[in-house]
Amino acid sequence: MNYSVRSATVRFGSTLALDDVTVEVPAGSVVAVVGGDGAGKSTLLRALAGEVRLESGTVEAPPRQRLGYLPASSGSWAALTVTQNIDFVAGIYGLAGDELTARRAELLDRASLTPAAGRLAAQLSGGMRRKLGFVMAIVHRPSLLILDEPSTGVDPVSRIDLWRLVSEAAASGTAVLMSTTYLDEAERAAHLVVLDSGRVLVQGSYDQVRAGFPGVVTQTSEPVREEWAWRRGRLRHEYWPGADPPPGAILAEPDLQDILIALSLARRHMVPS
Amino acid sequence: MIVKEFRELVRDRRTVAMLIAMPLLLLVIFGYAANFYVSSVRAAVVGPQASRAAALLPSYFDVTLTDRSGDEAYAETLLRDSKVDVAFVTGRTPVLALVNGSNLFAAQSTVAALNKAGREVTTQVLFNPRLKTSWVMVPAIIGLILTFIGTIITSIGLVREREAGTLEQLAVMPIRPSQVILGKIAPYFLVAALDMVIVTVLGIALFGVPFRGNPFAFALGAGMFLFVVLGIGVFISTVSQTAGQAIQTAFFFLLPQILLSGMIFPLAAMAAGVRWIGYLLPLTYFTMISQGIMLRGAPITALWLPFVVLAGMAVVVFTGATLRFRRDLAPGNPASPPREQQTAAEAVNTA
């Protein structure tokens, strides 16, 4: 089952949050949404979750019973213990008794949260709390899982744990749509959606995005056009949308960060991609 | 730093409102409402010489009823039902003046005025014979506690859910907005009801406050009042993003209730321009009910007006606030799962 947002336009007052955005989320795969602040990532996720009204467009989403959602906030109740948080959400989805006990134990074990089962959510570290939020989002085995920046502010080890949980959910057939600010995470997704100012700059697999990237990127210590350059380590990278760098320029192999920045610059300078 | 602080201040509308509106409010309240002196009381004169006695009374007594056939029992009924503050029973020497002790400040000034009449009048204070302040304050304090829990605690509880982002999570779960609202409000309703019982029992035990009326009528009035204040709490939560904002806003609702509901300053002593504010406040009507039932044993028929007003307020405020909260909870039409192939137009139409 594929879920999707098609030709979605969302407006908050005079701000165009999403502009004719189409994204498909196939079952059993992870779709990652990347983009800068205010790009429209959360709005896209919330549109699929039915949390924002579309000005135009359609949403294909499962019924609420089959939807799992982790908001950008902690996603858990601070004054409840880990177990109480899971049980509360599970109860809403109709899980109870032995089925709940078994599911809770399985998820706590997979998220390495078993030793913290009796602790208040407020007493958990940031990474543990996000993992708890994730566990709460998948406790009912949703067919569509929406994760709003699940790993933001999480330490590298917990990020690995979280990504493993996301991969396992997808492997079990769940369609996963997640936003992230970590491009290395996005590169691992089956499908990438790069958003900028509410519009899709590019989407596809990582390889497709790279293959379809127009123009070239050069590396230098002194860029020719400051407005097309950005810092990468000790050097600067510079984008040439028309693939016309000056003779002798050193070409760089653009990674996702380069692609994202280059396409955003192109959009700002109104160069058709 | 100073410029930065002013810029921040100007953008914080609630603080600006507190800085400007609160001093004005306090000035108006303490200028026009802070008055313990009652210049006139409602009076009834009954018995065979009712008309003649009424004509002899000084202007302090605003005679609203004369009845030549009325007796002492009838006079007591008039006081119990709060039709008048003092009732004179003629046809005996000296004339008997029955005073409604549940209306404390009116009673105090009436007793002082009657004392000047010397032996011509026998004064008897009913419902609060020793004119104890605690007897009239405890029924009002019950209302204040309900207001505090209903307004501040409820709004903080709801806003905390919004602050933590868990409200957003609840909104996408298969749980109806009405269930979320009920689940959030029911605990506060029960805690407030428990608090009410504790304060009432303690008031009776510690201060000897009587409970002369029907407990079920009292519970009914308290229940309706709770719906009003819980509705105010829910409303505050819909206009606040943080607990601090909720407390600030609740303060605007609480202060007038404390000062203008007749709990501290008698409504009759307030300037007419301020008194009408008191008549817009739910605590005014709950105090009428609680004092009427506890101190005077007034039946529900005698308190129909505050009951009807509170019922109206409960329906309007609670319904309006919960609808507003529901709107916040369900911006994207979650009321119609499953949402297969739902278009934006359908979402708008079914919202």
Domain tally, chain A: 2
Q: What is the pLDDT of residues A74-117, one digit of tens each?
A: 789 999 999 999 999 999 999 999 999 999 999 999 999 999 99
**Residues A197 and A227 occupy one common structural domain:** no
The last residue of a domain, from among A174, A204, A234: A204
The last residue of a domain, from among A175, A204, A233: A204
- The predicted complex's ipTM stands at 0.83
- Quote the domain boundaries for residue A74: 3-204
**Residues A134 and A223 occupy one common structural domain:** no
**Residues A43 and A174 occupy one common structural domain:** yes
Strand order in the sheet with A144-148: A67-70, A144-148, A175-179, A30-35, A191-196, A199-204
Q: What is the pLDDT of residues B147-161, one digit of tens each?
A: 998 899 989 988 988
State residue A273's pLDDT score. 52
Chain A CB contacts of B341 under 8 Å are 58, 60
Residue A144 within any structural domain of the chain: yes
Asked whether residue B235 carries a pLDDT value surpassing 50, the answer given is yes
**Residues A219 and A91 occupy one common structural domain:** no
Q: How many CB atoms lie within 10 A of CB A242?
A: 9
**Residues A76 and A140 occupy one common structural domain:** yes
Asked whether residue B275 carries a pLDDT value surpassing 80, the answer given is yes
**Residues A149 and A258 occupy one common structural domain:** no
Q: Which residues contact B266 (CB under 8 A, 6 or more apart)?
A: B35, B36, B38, B103, B104, B105, B106
State residue B136's pLDDT score. 92
- 10 Å CB burial of residue B81 (0-12, 13-18, 19+) is middle
Contact A68, A142 (CB under 8 A): yes
**Residues A14 and A120 occupy one common structural domain:** yes
Mean pLDDT of B221-250: 92
Mutate to test the interface with A, among B161, B167, B168, B327 (most CBs of A within 10 A): B168
**Residues A194 and A226 occupy one common structural domain:** no
**Contacts across the A-B interface (CB distance below 8 Å):** 92
Asked whether residue A23 carries a pLDDT value surpassing 90, the answer given is yes
Residue A273 within any structural domain of the chain: no
Mutate to test the interface with B, among A18, A48, A67, A70 (most CBs of B within 10 A): A67
**Residues A184 and A162 occupy one common structural domain:** yes
Chain A CB contacts of B342 under 8 Å are 50, 58-59, 61
Looking at residue A14, which CATH number applies to its domain? 3.40.50.300
The last residue of a domain, from among A185, A204, A223: A204
- Kindly identify which residue of chain A lies nearest to residue B342, measuring between CA atoms: A59
- pTM confidence score: 0.78
Asked whether residue B343 carries a pLDDT value surpassing 70, the answer given is no
Token output for B192: 């407030």
Asked whether residue B336 carries a pLDDT value surpassing 50, the answer given is no
Q: Report in angstroms the alpha-carbon separations of B12 from A140, B26, B245, B248.
A: 42, 21, 10, 11
Distance between CA atoms of residues B81 and B73, nearest Å: 12
Distance between CA atoms of residues B227 and B114, nearest Å: 42
**Residues A110 and A183 occupy one common structural domain:** yes
Q: What is the pLDDT of residues B60-111, one digit of tens each?
A: 999 999 999 999 999 999 999 999 999 999 988 889 999 999 989 889 999 9
CA A66 to chain B, closest CA, distance in angstroms equals: 9
CA distance from start to end of chain B? 47
Mean pLDDT of A163-190: 92
Distance between CA atoms of residues A104 and B203, nearest Å: 48
State residue B115's pLDDT score. 87
**Residues A130 and A181 occupy one common structural domain:** yes
**Residues A167 and A191 occupy one common structural domain:** yes
Residue A87 within any structural domain of the chain: yes
State residue B338's pLDDT score. 30
